[in-house]
Amino acid sequence: MSNLWGVVPAAGSGRRMATEVPKQYLRVAGSPLLEHALQALLACSELRRLVVVLDPTDRRADEVASLRDPRVATVAGGLERADSVLSGLRSLSDVAGADDWVLVHDAARPCLPPEDMRRLIDAVLASGCGGLLAQRITDTVKRTADGRRVVATLDRTTLWRAQTPQIFRWAELCAALEQMQQQGLIATDEASAMEQAGYEVQIVEGSSRNFKVTVPDDLPIAEYYLKTTVAARL
């Protein structure tokens, strides 16, 4: 049976949040966003090691209790999210086998429901095909030519919002992300690099709770989800 490793990119600066503190350290429902994300992942006993990718100049990591968990290691990130993910993946080279699975999850998704993560892991391990959580699009989606003039209405039944976690085989994911980097392309998620490299990628339907905290208006929504999830477990 292949091992399962984890990488959490948490080295961004949160430009769209526009707070002085990078968004992964903003406290919501009593803890930093990063802490909530790590707790959701560490609840999964199959995860052998979780590499958290940080900005090394940032001292705020000391306030994130789960970074002291024995399964957690930290490494320095890079300029783009994909650079940070690659740095986390490479740090696993002493322990990860080529066919081992790696789960990548954004620090900025603090409300990951445990049952969604379970479904994704089960689907990937059962089929041997890497994949990601994603959410059905419920809005009608338009394409514009110049940012204003509508040129098309897309068929939303074929469209999905990609989330994380995303799980792929360690060596294949490293090579796919490196290939995009060499081509000067920026992969905004792991699946896009895997698609580009020609691999099959499966979608596992997730819930809207697992949204990415990006702008200030997202904070009260995360707070609500985190408080109601915790209350539901009590």
What is the contact surface with ligand CTP in residues (CB under 6 A)? Answer: 9-16, 24, 53, 77-81, 84, 106-108, 212, 214
Task: Tell me the closest approach of the beta carbon of residue 135 to ligand CTP, in angstroms.
Answer: 16
| Residue 149 C-beta: closest distance to ligand CTP, Å | 27
Question: Least distance in Å: CB of 172 to ligand CTP?
Answer: 21
Nearer to ligand CTP, 84 or 229 (CB): 84
Q: Using only the alpha carbons of the chain, give its radius of gyration.
A: 17
No. of helices (H) and no. of strands (E), the chain = 6, 11
7: enclosing H helix or E strand: strand 4-10
The CB-of-1 to ligand CTP minimum distance in angstroms stands at 29
Q: Which is nearer to ligand CTP, 53 or 226 (CB)?
A: 53
Nearest to 211 by CA among 147, 102, 138, 121: 138
Contact 89, 111 (CB under 8 A): no
Query: Which CB sits closer to ligand CTP, 24 or 135?
Result: 24
Beta-bridge partner residues of 32: 27
DSSP letter assigned to residue 139 = S
Structure-block tokens of residue 115: 């049952």
Q: How far is the CB of 184 from ligand CTP (least distance, A)?
A: 16
Distance of alpha carbon 88 from alpha carbon 52, whole angstroms: 7
Closer residue to ligand CTP (CB): 129 or 219: 219
| Least Å from the CB of residue 105 to ligand CTP | 9
Q: Which is nearer to ligand CTP, 12 or 130 (CB)?
A: 12
Whichever of 11 and 154 has its CB closer to ligand CTP, that residue is 11
3-state helix, strand, coil in the chain (%, to 5): 40, 25, 40
- Considering Cα of 180, then 204, then 115, then 26, what sign does the dihedral take? positive
Q: In this chain, which residue has its C-beta nearest to ligand CTP?
A: 12
CA-to-CA dists, residue 85 to 10, 81, 90, 108, 164, angstroms? 9, 6, 9, 14, 13
